[in-house]
Amino acid sequence: MSEKGGKGSSLLSKGSLKGKDDSATKSSKGRRVQFSKEAGPFESGITSAGSPASGGKGEFSRGGKGDKVANGKAKTPSDPGVDQKLPENVKCIMDCEAADILQGIQEQMVMLSRDSTIKIPISFDKGMHYATSNSKYSDPESVRRVLQPLKGHGFSDNEICMIANLCPETADEVFALVPSVKDKESTSQILKDSLHQLAKLKQF
């Protein structure tokens, strides 16, 4: 049974993932685990063994020399934006929205679990637990409304979701944690206002 991607999936693959996955599994030396330094949000992170761009060793040695990264001064030119290569019909959702959706589905799951042939997948339980425990807001609609002005200033959906999930206290925190918005420092006042309103919506 083959899984055909829809529009989103075909855009997601970009023709490169299949090759990467295949070469990883077919490697004569067994599976070589390499961590791609250029992986975007929907790339698998497995690079072919022979790929010159693979940063397997380099990745860890860069991690070991973490001082440069920690100082925040070294800007790797290959550092991808958060929403790089996201296809159009994929919608990023906040943890609070995901929690709402999954809680709605959970009731159906409870009914289905009475059938012994149906097992509730572990990833559903873990995903739901993660979404509900990380959900800092009771009303996702209000959060969307508060962060809506940022969209008009060039913030992408993905960046807005990350800001909502992290609930940062200052604009500096946003610029540090979401590197792709660093070039939008001119919007720091609007960002501060949005964060201030977001803090009011946060439930403890």
Partner 1 sequence: MFFHIVLERNMQLHPRYFGRNLRDNLVSKLMKDVEGTCSGRHGFVVAVTGIENIGKGLIRDGTGFVTFPVKYQCVVFRPFKGEILEAVVTMVNKMGFFAEAGPVQIFVSNHLIPDDMEFQSGDMPNYTTSDGSVKIQKDSEVRLKIIGTRVDATEIFCIGTIKDDFLGVINDPATA
138-167 positions binding partner 1, by CB under 8 A:
158, 161-162, 165-166
- Residues numbered 54 to 83 that lie near partner 1 (CB under 8 A) are 59-60, 63-64, 66, 69-70, 72, 79-80, 82
C-alpha span between 163 and 136 (Å, rounded): 12
Token pair of 147 as six digits? 């962060």
Least gap, CB of 66 to partner 1 (angstroms) = 5
Least gap, CB of 135 to partner 1 (angstroms) = 11
130 part of the interface to partner 1, by CB under 8 A? yes
User: What is the identity of the amino acid at 142?
Assistant: S
- Residues numbered 5 to 44 that lie near partner 1 (CB under 8 A) are 5-9, 12-13, 17, 20-21, 33, 35-37, 39-44
Q: Which of 51, 90, 144, 149 binds partner 1 (CB under 8 A)?
A: 90
Contact (Cβ atoms closer than 8 angstroms) between residue 131 and residue 142: no
What string of DSSP letters covers 14-72? TTTHHHHHHHHHH-TTSPPP---SS--TT------TT-TT--HHHHHHHHHTHHHHHHT
178 part of the interface to partner 1, by CB under 8 A? yes
